[in-house]
A and B are shown apart, each in its own frame.
Chain A
Amino acid sequence: DAGITQSPRHKVTETGTPVTLRCHQTENHRYMYWYRQDPGHGLRLIHYSYGVKDTDKGEVSDGYSVSRSKTEDFLLTLESATSSQTSVYFCAISESGRGYPHEQYFGPGTRLTVT
């Protein structure tokens, strides 16, 4: 894994509680992404960031918010967790510009269960 850590790696929480997942990178890449992965749905983009304090919504952003106050950290918050948000969450990073490939590098994932 290209210098990306996610915490926690596993979490069980109750419906209605707020949850924050953290993605930390040591690559100094500009772009960061949060995906969720569910059987039959592939990878779905929740939010992404194109710089510090610059974020935008993905295709499944309802019920989620993000923050990026430093280049290396991208936080995903479930404001009031629901059972439908039980999933595996992946963070990814990428960089742009001459010499950089278009590749996205993924973290190890966080398995979240909402009971």
Chain B
Amino acid sequence: QQQVKQSPQSLIVQKGGISIINCAYENTAFDYFPWYQQFPGKGPALLIAIRPDVSEKKEGRFTISFNKSAKQFSLHIMDSQPGDSATYFCAAKVGNNRKLIWGLGTSLAVNP
């Protein structure tokens, strides 16, 4: 049973466009929602994270939007660049539990 459902599985965007990746969850006890970015041949790395007390967090071209009532959160990449081509994972965790619950990942390709 996938506790964090991520969509789409793959995404192709033109350079300069907006990439949007969505995640949905069921466990209302989740209180930390990170996004990780993984380039081919590398381990994942934290990109941006949000807590449920805010509805949006922005870091440069990357924005997390959080909808607590809908139990959804999404990653928006503005002005997408070929260098953003990577696999993106959403995740969630509860309190001091050190384990992350992962989405299955989205493979993003940004065409030049």
Contact = CB atoms under 8 A, between A and B. Distances in A.
B49 A102 contact: yes
A90 B104 CA distance: 15
Given A40-B104, A92-B43, A96-B98, A102 B89 contact: no
B45 A106 contact: yes
Interface string B85-111: 000010001001011101111000000
A108 B43 contact: yes
A110 to B, nearest CB: 11
B42 A109 contact: yes
Interface residues of A, number: 25
Interface residues of B, number: 19
Given A42-B89, A45-B99, A96-B98, 16 more contacts: A31-B98, A33-B99, A43-B44, A44-B102, A48-B98, A94-B98, A96-B96, A102-B34, A102-B93, A103-B34, A103-B46, A103-B49, A104-B46, A106-B43, A106-B45, A108-B43
Interface of B: 32, 34, 41-46, 49, 89, 93, 96, 98-100, 102-105
Interface of A: 1, 31, 33, 40-45, 48, 50, 58, 90, 92, 94, 96, 101-109
A43 B89 contact: yes
- Closest 5 A/B residue pairs (Cβ): A106-B43, A42-B104, A103-B46, A43-B102, A42-B105
